[in-house]
Amino acid sequence: MLLFVGWNLQKAGVRSSLYSVIKAVFQWRVISMLGLMLIYIASIVLVSIKGGFWNSGLIKDTIYWTFGVAFIMLMQVGKNSSDTSYFNKAVTDNFKLILLLEFVVNLHTFSLIIELIAVPVIAMTVMTMTYAECYSDEKPEYKRIYSFLAKILAAYVFIVAAISVYNIVTNFQNFATQSTLRNFLLPPLFSTAFLPFLYLIALLMKYETTFIRIEINNDDAELARHIKRRTLQLCHVSLKKLNAWSQETDLFSIRTKRELVVLIKKFNSTSNNK
């Protein structure tokens, strides 16, 4: 695996693209979202401790879940903010394989030194790979980085999973414990608890893009502020309603408050008939 990594890094195109992706991951916008995510996850952990579920034995599992599942969900929520069904299937459909692999990989514990090196490296690899995948449509060179990192991660998962399966077969008594059950339950429980945060982020991102479009298409700053206030009053915390409202093409061509009142009445009438 090290030979494969070294061989690929010799290519100038791979090195420059990898540097570009890593640099993009550390933009203030991504870092701020990551910071909010970590604060929310810390609150989940605190609640889990008070509930008697979480203990120090789940630290590694929590780190892997944070960067191997939560960060992926956070990056993908921006692309799926217009799809309200995303939040219903995010845990059950999109991450079944990831949760299973995360569980199997965590069954085997290496020495402390290896764990201290592997955990942050794998976390950074997953973060970079996820960012590259999410923005590969905008920057095709990111596809090469995603493919490169995916092969590295797949090799790591395969090796550790093989060791884990061997340990299960040869030492099943140590596998069937309460600690193992906690390892198995942590990903789905934390992923479910993470959904409200994802919803809030999707809502804020949708409001941001909608407000930017309103400002761009309206030269009257006071009218633009009025439209944004009425948008907040109309949609509140309903992402579904905000998505529908932002798709009203007349919203971005309003020139008077009267036109806005007429559009809101039309929108409410249409919404009530659905």
In this predicted structure, the answer to whether residue 229 has a pLDDT above a threshold of 70 is yes
Enumerate residues 6+ apart whose C-beta is below 8 A from 71. Answer: 34, 37, 126, 127, 130
CA distance 126 to 111: 22
What is d(CA 247, CA 267) in angstroms, rounded to the nearest whole number?
11
Please say if the pLDDT value at position 266 is more than 70.
Answer: yes
- pLDDT band with cut points at 50, 70 and 90 for residue 264: very high
Asked if pLDDT for residue 164 goes beyond 60, the answer is: yes
Strands (E) located in the chain = none
> Two tokens at 267?
């929108």
Does pLDDT of 108 surpass 70? no
Q: How many angstroms separate the most distant Cα atoms in the chain?
A: 75
* CB neighbourhood size of 250 (10 A): 12
Question: For residue 14, what pLDDT is reported?
Answer: 47
Going by pLDDT thresholds of 50, 70 and 90, the confidence category of residue 228 is: very high
Do 149 and 132 contact (CB within 8 A), yes or no?
yes
Between CA 213 and CA 217 the distance in angstroms is 6
Is residue 125 within 8 A of residue 70, CB to CB? The reply is no
What's 220's DSSP letter? -
Q: Is the pLDDT of residue 202 over 80?
A: yes
- HSE at residue 168, side-chain half, CA atoms within 13 A, is 15
pLDDT in tens, 54-66: 998 888 888 888 8
Residue 263 has pLDDT above 90, yes or no: yes
> Is a pLDDT exceeding 70 seen at residue 209?
yes
Distances (CA, A) of 148 to 1, 19, 48, 259: 12, 13, 36, 53
Return the DSSP state at 263. H
Which one is predicted more confidently, 204 or 167?
A: 204
